[in-house]
Structure 1
Amino acid sequence: MEGAHEKLLHLSFEEAEGNEETNSRLQSSKFILWLQLFVFTFFVLGGQAAGTLLGRVYYDQGAKSRWIATLAQTAGFPILLPFLCYPSPKNHDDQQLSIDHQSSVLVRASVYIFLGLFQVANSMLFTVGVQYLPASTYSLISGSQLAFNALTSFLLNGQKITPIILNSVVLLSFSSSAIIFQDKTGDGGEISHKSLLIGFAATTLGSLGYALQFSLTELAFQKVFKSGTLKVVMKMSFNIGMLVTIASLTGLFASGNWRDLEKEMREYRTGKLSYVMNLVCTAIAWQLYAVGSVGLVFKASSLFSNVIINLGTTIVPIFAMIFLKDEMSGLKVFSLLLGLWGYASYIYQHYLDDLEAKASEVKSLAEEEGNF
């Protein structure tokens, strides 16, 4: 799948050869692409920040159910129903029917089920991470997702690993791993080393799992879901969300935790209404995050999507400090700076790729003009 900058360069190359009407259409296409990337980016950053903070508040106010917290991460899928019911433009209908015919229902259902079950495990790991770690610490550790995704993208999606990208991977890995040497959270007291290890291991494994899931999602878009419409993004988010919600509900009832739901609501420090509102807002926030992240995979690549997610790790600690009185220790600041350095290295590599691609396009155009 082409990266965002490659798609824009492809549009620009076509624009140089077309007439004025074609140029106007291509300019509109580029604007729409940038607008879609901006909207999906906003969904990812906003949903990630709100979902993480609300998850921390859920536990801080006395709630304990991991299954409920995991369920809240995907239960917002019904809000996508209006988008699924909205008819696609006529010029895409034939293409969509052809694609649906080529990709059998069984194959698509298998992809949904596999990705859905995979997400259940990842969501549970992240739920454990949020429970045992402060919001800022959790966010910094989850930044390793980008490093892991660089590896999975290389193996599954043909992403090239340059020295600069490798530098980014190493920096981001050190950025997340440095947190394990901290004995105090700085967020309201001390926690045991065992709890810190559990939170660190769960969040790290969750990051690895999501990195692999994103690369597999990109592979699915390449091999199975080849539609050019955004409706495929909504369908994937809805179906995976529904499957994960069903799996989470099954786990909730199978474990017997549903019996404690009324007690948990009653003992919630800020009241039952606050408990319900927390879960509803959490569900909406994580659904926006899910749509945004899948949308960025669809419109750009899994690695680009994870870059934006990693950017969110620098935003969440700031909001945690503002809203949750989360302190930023020296070690966290050092870890955050390493993460920003790794993020900057990645962006610089894409800047170099952009220059190389532009030079290649100009050279190709010049050679074609010389042949006439």
Structure 2
Amino acid sequence: MEEESQQPVPEPNNELHKRKSLTKISLLIINFTMMVVGTAGSPLILRLYFLKGGKRIWLSSWLQTGGWPLILIPLSILYLRRGDKKLVVMSPSLFIYCAFIGVLTGLDDWLYAYGISYLPVSTSSILISTQLAFTALFAFLLVRQRFTAYSVNAVVLLIVGAAMLGINSNGDRPEGESKEKYYLGFGMTLGAAALYGLVLPLVELSQMKYEKERVPVTYRLVMEMQLVMGFFGTAFCTVGMIFNKDFTAIRHEAQEFGLGETRYYIVLVGCAILFQCFFLGTVGAIFYGSSLLAGVIITVLLPITEVLAVAFFSEPFSSGKGVALGLSLWGFASYFYGEIFKAKKARENVNGTT
């Protein structure tokens, strides 16, 4: 009698595993899309605000985190669909930690808005790309990020690119702007890059600590973290707006806006939405990867912003900028190749021990 062939019995949780994998891939795509839209679009619309007559630094800072209530929509949907008894899954200690990061984000928003009010988008974008160097440094200090020769090479190339912009900066100074204001904007933008380079590893550190001490970090928790950071970043900028009397100046500024009063408010709303896409997409990238990965993605999207700035605002694209951009892309390629090489070596080591 022939022996019956043994058919593999499907595991009961196989379907659940597939659903989870599909959900993870979907969220990855959504977060990456938000990062692309936010990174490419937010500098352009903020620069448009200043080019067409906007002058309020604290208002433009406020707009960068002011879209935080939008996160309540997906959070509410998750709460109603799953029927969770807990309205909030975040612990009190994590809430305080995220509030602190939110205040740092608010300060970073102010530095960035101040810088971009004086700099062309193409210049400020390349300067912001140096945040990868600061992210790498703070990731090493805070989350013990391991580096290869390729990642170190990437950091060096980005620093050299930023230095080249400083040396050749006279050619792209906007017409009618003094050297003092231009260099002040240059310094403020570099300061914003350095501070955001600290914020990214701090977000990763908070997720790591929560996962070790309590329960695995979920995407719902990630959204709650961004909600708290956005709220306190906005609160920080609100105080600045009150002292600077920005709230009372909005109506007058809208009437004198170069594109008209209605479009003034459209620009403000669009700015808040695009920056919220950027922040939520970045926190999601940290959740699925690392703070250094988020920094790399921001850097690789730089050429999109560069091209759009030249196309929409007719900004000059000097040879110095071209070299700086090339160094930035070379740095990204070096980092990415290093990560692929490291992953391949790790797989070989695992296969060698089995």
Do Structure 1 and Structure 2 share a fold, with TM-score over 0.5? yes
Residues 1:290 and 2:279 aligned together = yes
**Amino acid of the structure 2 residue aligned with 1:206:** A
| Greater shift in the superposed pair: 289-298 or 40-49 | 40-49
Structure 1 residue 229, shift from structure 2 partner: 2.0
**Amino acid of the structure 1 residue aligned with 2:205:** L
Where does residue 115 of structure 2 map in the other structure? 129
Where does residue 84 of structure 1 map in the other structure? 75
**Amino acid of the structure 1 residue aligned with 2:225:** M
Where does residue 194 of structure 1 map in the other structure? 180
Which of 175, 180, 187 in structure 1 is aligned with 2:166?
180
Residue pairs, 1:1-372, within 5 angstroms? 21=11, 29-87=20-78, 100=89, 104-105=91-92, 107-186=93-172, 189=175, 191-224=177-210, 226-364=215-353, 366=354
Residue 117 of structure 2 aligns to a residue whose secondary structure is helix
Give me the whole-angstrom Cα distance separating, in 2, the residues matched to 1:331 and 1:340.
Answer: 14
Where does residue 3 of structure 1 map in the other structure? none
Q: Is the 8 A contact 2:53 2:256 kept in 1?
A: yes
Give me the whole-angstrom Cα distance separating, in 2, the residues matched to 1:93 and 1:175.
Answer: 50
Q: Is the 8 A contact 2:115 2:185 kept in 1?
A: yes
Q: Is the 8 A contact 1:92 1:229 kept in 2?
A: no
Q: Is the 8 A contact 1:185 1:191 kept in 2?
A: no
Structure 1 residue 274, shift from structure 2 partner: 0.8
Give me the whole-angstrom Cα distance separating, in 1, the residues matched to 2:41 and 2:59.
Answer: 17
Give me the whole-angstrom Cα distance separating, in 2, the residues matched to 1:114 and 1:19.
Answer: 51
Where does residue 9 of structure 1 map in the other structure? none
Tell me: CA distance 1:90–1:132, structure 2 relative to 1, closer, same or farther (3 Å).
Answer: closer
| Greater shift in the superposed pair: 47-56 or 35-44 | 35-44
Structure 1 residue 194, shift from structure 2 partner: 1.6
Where does residue 5 of structure 2 map in the other structure? none
Give me the whole-angstrom Cα distance separating, in 1, the residues matched to 2:37 and 2:135.
Answer: 21
| Greater shift in the superposed pair: 152-161 or 248-257 | 248-257
Residue 358 of structure 1 aligns to a residue whose secondary structure is helix
**Amino acid of the structure 1 residue aligned with 2:181:** S
After superposition, the C-alpha distances for 1:300-320 in whole angstroms (9 at most, x for unaligned) are 110001111111222101111
Equivalent pairs: percent with the same residue?
Answer: 28
Q: Is the 8 A contact 1:53 1:135 kept in 2?
A: yes
Structure 1 residue 362, shift from structure 2 partner: 2.3
Gaps of 5+ in 1: 1-17, 367-372
**Amino acid of the structure 1 residue aligned with 2:183:** L
Q: Is the 8 A contact 1:134 1:185 kept in 2?
A: no
Give me the whole-angstrom Cα distance separating, in 1, the residues matched to 2:81 and 2:68.
Answer: 26
Structure 1 residue 264, shift from structure 2 partner: 1.0
Give me the whole-angstrom Cα distance separating, in 1, the residues matched to 2:197 and 2:18.
Answer: 33
Tell me: CA distance 1:89–1:307, structure 2 relative to 1, closer, same or farther (3 Å).
Answer: farther
Give me the whole-angstrom Cα distance separating, in 1, the residues matched to 2:333 and 2:25.
Answer: 21
Give me the whole-angstrom Cα distance separating, in 1, the residues matched to 2:72 and 2:134.
Answer: 33
Give me the whole-angstrom Cα distance separating, in 2, the residues matched to 1:90 and 1:270.
Answer: 43
After superposition, the C-alpha distances for 1:149-197 in whole angstroms (9 at most, x for unaligned) are 1111111111112221111100011112211122445475364322222
Q: Is the 8 A contact 1:187 1:327 kept in 2?
A: no
Tell me: CA distance 1:92–1:163, structure 2 relative to 1, closer, same or farther (3 Å).
Answer: farther
Q: Is the 8 A contact 2:65 2:106 kept in 1?
A: no
Where does residue 15 of structure 1 map in the other structure? none
Q: Is the 8 A contact 1:88 1:231 kept in 2?
A: no
Structure 1 residue 122, shift from structure 2 partner: 0.5
Where does residue 11 of structure 1 map in the other structure? none
Tell me: CA distance 1:358–1:20, structure 2 relative to 1, closer, same or farther (3 Å).
Answer: farther
Gaps of 5+ in 2: 1-7
Q: Is the 8 A contact 1:184 1:191 kept in 2?
A: no
Q: Is the 8 A contact 2:130 2:162 kept in 1?
A: yes
Q: Is the 8 A contact 2:65 2:234 kept in 1?
A: yes
Give me the whole-angstrom Cα distance separating, in 2, the residues matched to 1:325 and 1:340.
Answer: 22
Residue 216 of structure 1 aligns to a residue whose secondary structure is helix
Structure 1 residue 260, shift from structure 2 partner: 2.1
Where does residue 6 of structure 1 map in the other structure? none
Structural RMSD (CA): 2.5
Residues paired across the two proteins, number: 343
